[in-house]
Amino acid sequence: MRIMQAVYAYLSIVAVALLLNSGEVYAEQTKVESGAEKPTVLVWGDSLSAAYGIPVEKGWVSLLQAKYKDQVDVVNGSISGETTQGGLSRLPDALELHKPRLLVLELGANDGLRGLKPDVMKENLQAMIDLAKEASAQVALIGIRIPLNYGFVYTQKFEQVYVDIAEANDLPFLPFLLEGVALDFDLMQADGLHPTAEAQPKVFEHVLTVLEPVMADLVDEESEKEEAVTLVPAGAAAEG
């Protein structure tokens, strides 16, 4: 019981943090240039993915790029304070610009913290997933939890949105981004609101429990395409 109380106390603090940090704080969104074109992974989240309060290169998204730097390009389109409606409005342009093969969707927390209707959040998440699929991008879903002081019924409906969306679309799904970090105050910044730079590897390892198989499939698929192109005789296109 004490552990659960501590969890919800932390989440209450995060609720205030996310709302206060609702300005347009953009994470770095540049691709790493390479000699050959690599598949792109687009991370679409809020302050917890935008490396708020720490150097961008220390955030879990940058750690993802570092791990797969030879296989993929990672673009961080996360914004502090972002809602599903804001993410939905920005996504078409981002899909057109970056043409990602994988969309990592980490939005919804600010909808819940503002007490917005879970059904609207669900519609927005589904619309983003549909847009990604239309753009031939896979989707992985990362969830968050909100404190019980929003009411048991509301928090249950909120968390169920992620479960329903993941099941309906057969998505790789991580229910809580800050699992294993939220209760360790040594891994929190001085404001007590955001994970420190030292916490990011732990957040990253948790994310990898869902993303690693997806990334492996993406890399394997790209390798198979390159091999197929290599097997085509040099003069085949001209002869055709």
- How far apart, in whole angstroms, are the C-alpha atoms of residue 72 and residue 219? 8
Question: Which residues are known to be catalytic?
Answer: 47, 191, 194
- How far apart, in whole angstroms, are the C-alpha atoms of residue 44 and residue 172? 15
Structural tokens at position 122: 């669900």
Cα–Cα nearest to 11, from 201, 161, 181? 181
